Amino acid sequence: MKTIDELLAEGVAGKRVFVRADLNVPLDGTTITDDGRIRAVLPTIAKLAEAGARVVVASHLGRPKGAPDPAFSLAPAAARLGELLGADVAFATDTVGESARAAVAGLTDGQVAVIENLRFNPGETSKDDAERGAFADQLAELADVYVGDGFGAVHRKHASVFDLPARLPHYAGYLIATEVGVLKKLTTDVQRPYAVVLGGAKVSDKLGVIDHLLERADRILIGGGMAYTFLKAQGHEVGSSLLQEDQIPAVREYLRRAEEKGVEFVLPVDVVVAPAFPDLKTKAPAHPTTVAADAMPEGQMGLDNGPETNKLYASKLADAATVFWNGPMGVFEHPDFADGTRAVAQALVDSPAFSVVGGGDSAAAVRILGFDENAFGHISTGGGASLEYLEGKTLPGLAALED
């Protein structure tokens, strides 16, 4: 795929450059709680503006139902982008309508505009090729060149990700080039030992990547809500913890295959439990206790790894040469259940391994818990995209940038 450096060498002054970014930031009302994704695309936008391009930035945010919804407006992200750029950023209140056309027409060389949430238009996510294509045609009228830099969306066959690049000269931005380069280090010529830490709520979300990693990883460490399905598959009671009963046969098969292939599966040996899920708004004390992972009492919910598990996991990561981490170890948003996630992050900071934090909640946790992002090898902006890449799937947004 052609890169933004090739585009810059060709010259962009006066050209309208459409940048498909990923500004899908978490919001508390209109307050951005983590601006990591905006900062990740900043080098591409800033470089284009510096070179005299008229930059049109587009993104989705959340999952609106194909119609405008103020709760999912990109206005806060546009304002934050302007703060980071140190320049005024125009904001269009629609995607391809009068406001968008006026915002783009009003740009001069080196200026930036953000158009409203792409998912306010049903054509963006439509499964109908014609409807998606019609929306891509309208977007193409706003630009002369396309730069794909929304890595968090490249696994989606959406109009702005898949169809629009076919209608314009297209290039990969700095973020996508970096993300792909990093993920290649996790799939080809991997430095060993290669350890993978998987967490998050549902084991079903990780089945494909576990299947893929059984052929490649040396160790797989499991935490988060998905751990309780693994513990149940081993015959342990898990109280009222999150459990996917229908996935137990698949989990047992993975454990069998791991043993057969010599892949070490590491599960919690103790867990932090509470009678109910904690209140994440008030952060009220949740009255946690720590119990052995094979002795969870009835009526108690597992919400984090325990201290012995934290020590065990740190020891399993200490000598790794490569680590991929996707998914928190517990409900890290509440102080009573953040220690497991904090322990994994600290273990990666302390390890000499090339460490990749695989986007989504893991990336948010690193920042929320106060870690220096530069202490990790790479913090991805795309949780789902990273996982699908590691599964060996073809990602539509990357395929669209190939020539």
Active site residues: 37, 202, 360, 384
Q: Which two tokens stand for residue 260?
A: 């057969």
Quick one: which H or E segment has residue 42? Answer: helix 36-50
Radius of gyration from C-alpha coordinates of the chain: 22
The phi, psi pair for 49, rounded to 5°, reads -65, -40
In 52-141, the DSSP E strands lie at 54-58, 89-91, 112-114
- DSSP label at 353? S
CA distances from 114 to 17, 26, 82, 117, 132 (A): 12, 18, 10, 9, 21
Residue 283 to residue 14: CA distance in whole angstroms: 51
The number of CA neighbours under 13 Å toward the Cβ of 340 is: 36
CA dist 2 and 9 (Å) reads 12
Supply φ then ψ for residue 75, to 5 degrees. Answer: -55, -45
Cα 64 from Cα 7, distance rounded (Å): 33
At 86, is the secondary structure helix, strand, or coil? coil
The closest alpha carbon to 160, from 142, 174, 177, 175, belongs to 142
Task: Give yes or no for a contact between 332 and 338, defined as CB atoms under 8 angstroms apart.
Answer: yes
Q: Which helix (H) or strand (E) holds 185?
A: helix 174-185
- For tokens 């970014």, name the residue: 21
- Residue 354 is given by DSSP the state E
